[in-house]
């Protein structure tokens, strides 16, 4: 069973996550020829202060 772990900046709506999950599940189901029920998708919300690009945090912590 495929297990997809998606790390995403916190703050995305449930509606958006539902759509991402639906599309990822459909793509894997089609390519791997597996039933959708066999595909697991998990989201990990990451704070912008914990996500770095080019050595800099995407967002400053609120207490700074």
The answer to whether residue 2 is catalytic is yes
Residues 6+ apart with CB under 8 A from 40: 1, 2, 3, 4
Given 1, 2, 50, 64, which residue is catalytic? Answer: 2
Residues 45 and 8: beta-carbon distance below 8 Å: yes
Residues tagged active-site: 2
């Amino acid at each position: 069973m495929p297990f997809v772990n998606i790390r995403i900046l916190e703050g995305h709506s449930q509606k958006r996550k539902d759509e991402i999950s639906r599309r990822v599940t459909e793509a894997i189901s089609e390519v791997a020829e597996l039933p959708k029920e066999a595909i697991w998708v998990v989201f990990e919300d990451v704070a912008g202060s914990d996500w770095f690009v080019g050595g800099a945090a995407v967002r400053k912590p609120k207490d700074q």
